[in-house]
Structure 1
Amino acid sequence: MTKKVLDVGNCGPDFHAIKSFVERTFDAKVLQADGPEDALEILRRESIDLVLVNRKLDRDYTDGLEVIKQIKADGAVSAVPAMLITNYEEHQQLAISEGAVHGFGKLSLAKSETVDLLKPYLG
């Protein structure tokens, strides 16, 4: 069964790189959201298997950690796994403390360890 991934807050080129990588590597479809409002709407409407949140949202450079906090605070969608996309381990740890699972950075997008990280959710 095709999995669904929601990408939140990435610019066009980064979204397309993530979408291409995920859809090429897994039986998955990647949807896009710009911020917490449309992300929560999509999460309530669609069956999403994994949320990927950019550390800084492209639309206004707000903190992606706030998106994770809103997802985890919403009982209807809080069980959906969320990952922060950042190359900085300290930001990964902050996201984990808010209920996210360990994510990855854009610099490691096509690496085997990123595939292994995503497999439990998309494999």
Structure 2
Amino acid sequence: MVKTLVDCGNCGPDFNSIRQMVTSHFEATVLQTHGAEDTVELLRKRKVDLVTVNRKLDRDYSDGLEIIKKIKSDPELNNVPVMLVTNYEEHQEAAVAEGATYGFGKLEIGNEGTIEKLKPFLTS
């Protein structure tokens, strides 16, 4: 069964790096969203196995933590796993406090530790 990852708020090159990492290790589709509205709309329309959210959204540099809060406070969506994409531990901890799973940083894209973090959500 093909899994689905939604990547929110990353620029084109970072989205492509995440997509390459995911599709080379998992049978998964990677979709891109840009903010809270299109992410929530997509989550309401289809089953998603994991959402990754950039700490600072590429489109307007708003805080990705706000998207995590929006997803986790919505009774229909709060069971969808979410990870923050940031190299900073304090922001990872803030995301976990809001209900996210500990994520990974852009410097860790493609490394074995990141693949291990993704396995519970993206392994068929």
Q: Shorter-normalised TM-score: what interval?
A: over 0.9
Within-5 A mapping of 1:79-90: 79-90=79-90
Aligned structure 1 segments of 4 or more residues deviating by more than 3 angstroms: none
Instruction: Tell me the equivalent position of 1:103.
Output: 103
Within-5 A mapping of 1:35-50: 35-50=35-50
CA RMSD, Structure 1 to Structure 2 (Å): 0.5
Q: Does 1:52 align with 2:52?
A: yes
Higher relative CO (Cα under 8 Å, sequence separation at least 6) belongs to 2
User: Deviations along 1:17-50, whole A, 9 cap, x unmatched?
Assistant: 1111101110100011000000000000010000
Identity, in percent, stands at 56
| CA apart distance, 1:87 | 0.4
Secondary structure of the corresponding residue to residue 121 of structure 1: helix
Instruction: Tell me the equivalent position of 2:76.
Output: 76
Secondary structure of the corresponding residue to residue 71 of structure 2: helix
| Count of matched residue pairs | 123
Instruction: Tell me the equivalent position of 2:34.
Output: 34
| CA apart distance, 1:65 | 0.2
Q: What is the rounded CA distance, in whole Å, between the counterparts of 1:76 and 1:49 in structure 2?
A: 14
User: Deviations along 1:44-71, whole A, 9 cap, x unmatched?
Assistant: 0010000000000000000000000000
Q: What is the rounded CA distance, in whole Å, between the counterparts of 1:45 and 1:75 in structure 2?
A: 15
Q: Which runs of 5+ in 2 are unaligned?
A: none
With the length of structure 2 as denominator, give the TM-score of the two structures.
0.98
With the length of structure 1 as denominator, give the TM-score of the two structures.
0.99
